Structure 1
Amino acid sequence: MAEATLARRRPSRRPAWAGFAFSSPWIIGLVVFMAGPILVSLYYSFTEFNLFQSPRWVGLKNYATLLEDPKFLGSVFNTAYLAIIGVPLGLAFALLVALALNFPVRGQPLYRAIVYLPAIVPVVTASYLWRWVFNAQYGYLNQVLGRVGLPQPNWLADPLWTKPAVLIIIWWGIGATAVIYLAALKQVPQQLYEAAAVDGANGWQRFWYVTWPALTPVTLFQLIMGVIAALQIFAPTYLLTQSRGNGANGGPGDSLLTYTMHLFHNAFVFLKMGQAAAMAWILFLVIGLLTLLILLTSRRWVHYGSE
């Protein structure tokens, strides 16, 4: 009798094994197609490997070679430029758009759809569309600038204007960010605005002391995702610098040679798989450190509802 009671109290392992069995396809896929290649790439980063010969161990040579490569340093500068300028200004622009879309005006759903539409356009289609818009001779942008008496830059051939052209494309697609901000604005309690108005707060004070604190958690998420996306930017710069019959070359003066494009060139053009793997791991560590830094500093400026 006592043994039967003890057996009933003993937890059954069958549900646990059943759970592992149902999740085994995903676990196997994770190990074989993700975790395995990630660990192999770490090994390759310490080797000289060109896909046709066996990897040869070279230690930290790949990392040291990258630090002496002017193209590598240039790609770091170009990527940092796009991230430092593009992400903060993109968030600010998206917030302004969300505030404008939050006003109750006639045709509001149509305006929201127009703002969000660029976010669902495929990146390849958008990049080729903007190549046409940025054309120095017959592009619409220069035609508009010429009619209002403004300079008409050679957007894709002048190193001074190539990165601003990419920033325009990035900011053109901030519809998804604006929609997230718009959803967060809907969650701000209306009674807080009423209490601030009773206390005599003006429009700026209501935004700074009521709206902005409520938006800081969303801004933290948008900032982290924006930094990660900016550091991995590839398709727009690659397609804008692609010549007819030739692959992408980084643009005039390598002004659009981003980090991931240089990684792509090392891996699939020059077949320097070891250096490409080293670049991938450097990028992984930089993204991890920046994410950790943002999370640590968020304690000072992010406000949650319970605080």
Structure 2
Amino acid sequence: MTAFLKPRAPSPRWRRRGTVLALLAPWLIGFTVFFAYPMASTVYYSFHRFDLFTAEFIGLDNYWYFLGDERAHLAFRNTLWLVAVLVPAQMVFGLGVAQLVVRLKAGAGFFRTVFFLPSLVPTVAGTVGFVFLLNPATGPVNGLLSAAGIEGPDWYGDPAWAKPGLVLLALWGIGNLMVIFMAALLDVPRHLYEAAAIDGAGALRQFRSITLPTISPVLMFSAVTGVIQAMQYFTQAWITSRVAAGATDSPGSSYTPGYPDGSLLTFPQWLFQTAFRDFSMGYASVLALIMFVISMLFILILLRRFRAFGDEGA
């Protein structure tokens, strides 16, 4: 009778499943707490009028409101501009600098250090410093242009030059991307270049047929991370706009995000304004979902394009 009541040992299959679940538990807990639950909550509150204290179901009203929100549309266009201009500019400039440093016979360490150091500067400090460098009245950049007989623009006071000024700021801090590209370029097998040179291929042909296909995974990584960062572009645009507008945090002061004339208003800024200044958490949830969906679409397009590029290079 005692033998009959003795609990049966778990089968090897269940033991393996238990081991796998135990090993996956940290990831499953992190995924649930930091992604699945926030995502489900965002979708839920997007159908509500929510101010952190009360939630009232309003159906699709928040989504319909987005269709008529001109400030959200402006912020979305500015963010798309950053994706279309800033990300390719970073990649081209970073790859060009990496190619230059790799090919240098002397002084490579010095130039590598010079280009990498700006990336170590804290984001806020670097942005504030860059705004003062490009100050149209007292900045040294316009001073040098004036000495050369060129009238410098009002960088962060003119809507036409504000976003190009952010691109210059991004290129100044290209150090991290340069190091990644340098590692990829140094990993390209030398014998491929030697064989191509024997066949009569020039430098451009070698770059197109050997370098780019070989480092295409690194290019894809930089493009995907660049798009994600551009879609989340907040700090540099926020600080630049506030400093250029002379805004302060003193009582009674007013500040409209996106100075000048909304040219520096990005989608994350408008989401922040909606959520933490206007306390429209329901509508902010809609903005967050739209930003997530657009980011995923960009990433899927990039993955398909780079996969086709890799197949073509192979």
TM-score > 0.5 by shorter chain: yes
Match of 1:3 in 2: none
Q: Percent identity?
A: 35
Contact residue 142 and residue 153 of structure 1 kept, 8 A: yes
Match of 1:159 in 2: 159
- How far has the Cα of 1:116 moved from its partner? 1.5
Match of 1:42 in 2: 43
1:216, 1:15 → 2: CA distance? 38
- How far has the Cα of 1:59 moved from its partner? 1.3
Encode CA deviations 1:163-215: one digit per residue, 9 max, x unaligned.
11111111112211111111111111111111111111222122122212212
**TM-score scaled by length of structure 2:** 0.88
- How far has the Cα of 1:236 moved from its partner? 0.3
Which one of the candidate residues 255, 263, 285 is aligned to 2:271?
Answer: 263
Cα distance change, pair 48–112 in 1 and its aligned pair in 2 (3 A): same
Match of 2:66 in 1: 66
1:296, 1:154 → 2: CA distance? 40
Aligned partner letter, 1:268: F
Alignment of 1:34-113 (within 5 A): 34-52=35-53, 54-113=54-113
Match of 1:296 in 2: 304
- How far has the Cα of 1:15 moved from its partner? 6.6
Structure 1 residue runs without a partner (length 5+): 1-6
Contact residue 44 and residue 273 of structure 1 kept, 8 A: yes
Aligned partner letter, 1:98: A
Encode CA deviations 1:92-144: one digit per residue, 9 max, x unaligned.
11111111011142221121122112222221111111121122211121112
Structure 2 residue runs without a partner (length 5+): 1-7
Contact residue 119 and residue 176 of structure 1 kept, 8 A: yes
State how many pairs are aligned.
Answer: 299
1:249 matched to 2:257: yes
Alignment of 1:1-307 (within 5 A): 10-11=11-12, 13=14, 17=18, 20=21, 24=25, 27-52=28-53, 54-242=54-242, 243-245=247-249, 246=253, 249-303=257-311, 307=314
Contact residue 145 and residue 152 of structure 1 kept, 8 A: yes
Cα distance change, pair 42–134 in 1 and its aligned pair in 2 (3 A): same
Encode CA deviations 1:53-80: one digit per residue, 9 max, x unaligned.
x111111111111111110110111111
1:265, 1:132 → 2: CA distance? 26
2:206, 2:138 → 1: CA distance? 46
Aligned partner letter, 2:82: L
Aligned partner letter, 1:275: Y
- How far has the Cα of 1:302 moved from its partner? 2.1
- Please provide the CA RMSD for this pair: 2.3
Aligned partner letter, 1:244: T
Q: SS at 2:261's partner residue?
A: helix
Aligned partner letter, 2:283: Q
**TM-score scaled by length of structure 1:** 0.90
Aligned partner letter, 2:262: D
Contact residue 217 and residue 303 of structure 1 kept, 8 A: no
Aligned partner letter, 2:248: R
1:214, 1:143 → 2: CA distance? 43
